Structure 1
Amino acid sequence: MVGAAASSAEQAKRRKYENLDSSFIFVPFGGVETLGPWGPEARALFKELSKRVIKSTGDPRAGSYLGQRISLAIQRGNAASILETVRRCGGFEDVLDFI
């Protein structure tokens, strides 16, 4: 099933933070992957945030810009993870052997 891993990640996050104080609004945003589908709660949060940004700026493209910013943040995080792995193992050759 498409998105099953994202849904599962959201459920795991919800269980992890189930004891969070009720004064907080918690939305699991764990089901977001670089190339994969977003989890249902992450999609709903993104849609709501997009609507609010569009309404406050008056720019119909603002939701798209928000999605691009999130995508870039995910890509930067992935790049940082890879670069940290390269530093620990000594070079790209070791990483490529691993892959």
Structure 2
Amino acid sequence: MVGAAATSAERAKGRQYENLDSNFIFMPFGVETLGPWGPEALFKELSKRVIESTGDPRAGSYLGQRISLAIQRCNAASILGTVSRCGGFEDVLDFI
């Protein structure tokens, strides 16, 4: 099912912080690496508010692009972090 991993991650994170002090507002933010955002991600609301505050109708799209790039950078760091344990970058490419 599309989005199942993001939804599952949000639920798990919600359980982890369910006892957080009521002075805080906690909202889990699940994003699948190659796919959809979790239902609690509130991306549409964030995007709408950025557009309203900047007056730029493209601002919401820019926000999505920035978040997507951050995810891609973290994925690359995760892969490159395993290279020394694999014996070289060539070994990583064999798995792809």
How many residues were matched structurally?
96
Paired residue secondary structure (1:56) = helix
TM-score normalized with structure 1 length: 0.86
In the TM superposition, what are the counterparts of 1:1-99 in structure 2 within 5 Å?
Answer: 1-29=1-29, 31-42=30-41, 45-99=42-96
CA displacement, residues 69-93 of structure 1 (integer Å, 9 cap, x when unaligned): 0000000000000111112332023
Greater mean alpha carbon deviation, residues 66-75 or residues 85-94: 85-94
Q: Distance in 1 between matches of 2:95 and 2:34?
A: 21
Q: Which has the higher helix share?
A: 1
* Residue ranges of structure 1 left out of the alignment (5+ in a row): none
Question: Displacement, 1:98?
Answer: 4.6
Contact kept? 1:54, 1:60, Cα under 8 Å:
yes
CA displacement, residues 2-39 of structure 1 (integer Å, 9 cap, x when unaligned): 2222211111110011111111111111x212212211
Greater mean alpha carbon deviation, residues 32-41 or residues 58-67: 32-41
TM-score normalized with structure 2 length: 0.89
Contact kept? 1:6, 1:38, Cα under 8 Å:
yes
Q: Identity of paired residues, percent? A: 90
Paired residue secondary structure (1:40) = coil
Q: Distance in 1 between matches of 2:90 and 2:10?
A: 35
Q: Distance in 1 between matches of 2:8 and 2:33?
A: 16
Q: Distance in 1 between matches of 2:93 and 2:57?
A: 42
Paired residue secondary structure (1:66) = helix
* Residue ranges of structure 2 left out of the alignment (5+ in a row): none
Over the aligned positions, Cα root-mean-square deviation in angstroms equals: 1.4
